[in-house]
């Protein structure tokens, strides 16, 4: 019985510290996500079919900085792997509007996602994106 109480005396403080550390991490993570920038794709619309005869397509969107640091860039992916820098089209360098010229090469289904990065280093967790189909 004494060995069990010694075990609990050792394990309970470790568990308590782990729970407290986990709670602090959760609070920190939610604070970071609350200040992360936000971007949205405004073109193309969800579910659009784009003829493959086009050499490229302009993906357009908006972005907002919630940290007050200012936006550093917006990135776009069409494969969930490669992130490509968009072009700032705002007149004042704020990245409030942006565009990305997508040069696709194959017919098929694609999911386009965007993410914004602010000057403080906060990176947006991308949303569900926009589904498009390149048709032959």
Q: Do residues 48 and 111 touch, judged by C-beta distance below 8 A? A: no
Mean predicted confidence (pLDDT) in 53-79: 94
So where are the chain's domains? 1-35, 36-135
Quote the pTM value. 0.75
How far apart CA 6 and CA 3 sit, in angstroms, is: 5
Using the structure block, give the residue that is written with the tokens 């490229």.
Answer: 56
Closest C-alpha to 125, from 26, 35, 58, 45: 35
pLDDT digits (tens, 9 = 90+) for 38-55: 999 999 999 999 998 888
- Asked: is 36-135 a CATH 2.60.120.330 domain? The reply is no
Structure tokens at 9: 């005396």
| Element (DSSP H or E) covering residue 73 | strand 71-77
How far apart CA 77 and CA 20 sit, in angstroms, is: 37
């Amino acid at each position: 019985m004494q060995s069990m109480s010694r075990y609990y005396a050792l394990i309970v403080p470790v568990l308590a510290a782990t729970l407290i550390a986990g709670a602090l991490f959760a609070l920190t993570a939610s604070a970071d996500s609350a200040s992360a920038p936000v971007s949205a794709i405004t073109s193309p619309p969800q579910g659009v079919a784009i003829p493959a005869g086009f050499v490229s397509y302009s993906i357009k969107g908006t972005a907002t900085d919630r940290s007050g640091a200012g936006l550093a860039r917006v990135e776009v992916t069409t494969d969930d792997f490669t992130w490509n820098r968009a072009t700032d089209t705002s007149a004042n360098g704020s990245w409030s509007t942006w565009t990305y010229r997508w040069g696709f090469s194959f017919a098929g289904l694609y999911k386009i996602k965007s993410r914004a990065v602010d000057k403080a280093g906060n990176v947006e967790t991308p949303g569900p994106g926009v589904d498009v189909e390149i048709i032959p």
